[in-house]
Structure 1
Amino acid sequence: MQQKIVLIGGPGTGKTSVLNELIKRNYFCMPEVSREVTLKAKEKGIDQLFLTEPLLFSKLLLEGREQQFITADNSKNKLVFFDRGIPDVHAYLDFFKTEYPATFIEKSKKYKYNKIFHFSPWEEIHTTDNERYETFEESIIIDKFLIDAYLKVGYSIINVPFGTIEERTNFIINSLSCDL
């Protein structure tokens, strides 16, 4: 049976670095969709789509994450890792106090992942760039909304300890080995 594994946490917590390590180890991984959506918007002259049109941005994210889930389902891979999952979309909308249609929660309940690994805010590794503009303090607050969103739709969350990229990746793989 296929295992769908999601890496969650606020911005700049090391999720993508661990996902890249998983890719190096030949695991099937789904990258973060928001950077792609942000870059496409910039090509159209919109600097921060999430800040200017949060509902449109989130709708595009939801579609992208739903497509990733379907792609994973259609693959023959026993393990599929996701850099963020569908509940992240409404967690961010909650953070920004933006109303959204019930379909956001419905899709979070429809497309179920097997395990959720959480990366806590970590000031020593937090950075900003053109697509990640949140401060460390905002990352801490967003993190709380993310945890809440996943718990509300019925997930248990496994906390990934601080450490090197290799140590964090090994923790995840070792946590899953008993399920394979």
Structure 2
Amino acid sequence: MIPRPANPPAFHIITGGPGSGKTTLIDALALEGFHYMPEAGRAIIRDQVAIGGTALPWSDRAAFAELMLAWELLSWHEAHARAGPVIFDRGVPDVSGYLRVSGLPVPAHLSEAARLFRYQPRVFIAPPWRAIFMADAERRQDFAEAEATYEAMVAVYTELGYELMMLPFAPVTERACFVRSAIAGDLD
């Protein structure tokens, strides 16, 4: 069994609904030298499409969720090799939120993973932002589903005892400054 750390490592999650600027923000922080772990969803979709797989959000949501869980667990372990803070583009709890939005049950092993694999207690959450939201070949959700995903993430992370820090509706440079300050302990 994986021991639950008394103090979670310097792992910081940025979550929220699709199209809310999470990945753009993480890319900006990476350019500043922050270590990061990329989002599972887009990579899994690209891989599944390339191989003709069916573990896709529009084909087999349960299988897609299992691949996301495996990705997030691997990312959590790999992040231990990085020095300093690591920014995650979503985390293990996001898989539970995804299943809730999909109307699927959250299996016991996923709930256990969310309990065991912890991140910093403050989680950055990007609210739905219509002005920047765009669908594409991998992000087929509409804005209503983006809002529902955001609400599911709020519920899941709150239930797991995380404190949510709302990202401001602001240019990426201001959002990056907000995250840097919070990680440095300048925001309460």
TM-score, length-scaled by structure 1: 0.94
Give the C-alpha shift of residue 44 in structure 1.
2.2
Residues paired across the two proteins, number: 178
Give the C-alpha shift of residue 177 in structure 1.
1.1
Q: Which amino acid aligns with 2:168?
A: P
Indicate the percent of aligned positions where both proteins have the same amino acid.
28
Partner of 1:105: 111
**How well do the aligned residues superpose, as a CA RMSD in angstroms?**
1.5
Residue 55 of structure 2 contacts residue 63 of structure 2 at CA under 8 Å; is this kept in 1? no
Partner of 1:85: 91
Using the alignment, how far apart are the partners of 1:57 and 1:25 within structure 2?
Answer: 32
Residue 7 of structure 1 contacts residue 118 of structure 1 at CA under 8 Å; is this kept in 2? yes
Using the alignment, how far apart are the partners of 2:169 and 2:43 within structure 1?
Answer: 27
Partner of 2:3: none
Using the alignment, how far apart are the partners of 2:58 and 2:110 within structure 1?
Answer: 19
Runs of 4+ displaced beyond 4 Å: none
Q: Which runs of 5+ in 2 are unaligned?
A: 1-6
Residue 55 of structure 2 contacts residue 64 of structure 2 at CA under 8 Å; is this kept in 1? no
Out of 36, 44, 50, the residue aligned to residue 43 of structure 2 is: 36
Residue 9 of structure 1 contacts residue 118 of structure 1 at CA under 8 Å; is this kept in 2? yes
Q: Which amino acid aligns with 2:66?
A: K
Q: State the Cα deviation string for residues 7-53 of structure 1 (Å, max 9, x = none).
A: 01100000000000011001101110111111111012247712211
Matched, 1:164 2:186: no
TM-score, length-scaled by structure 2: 0.90
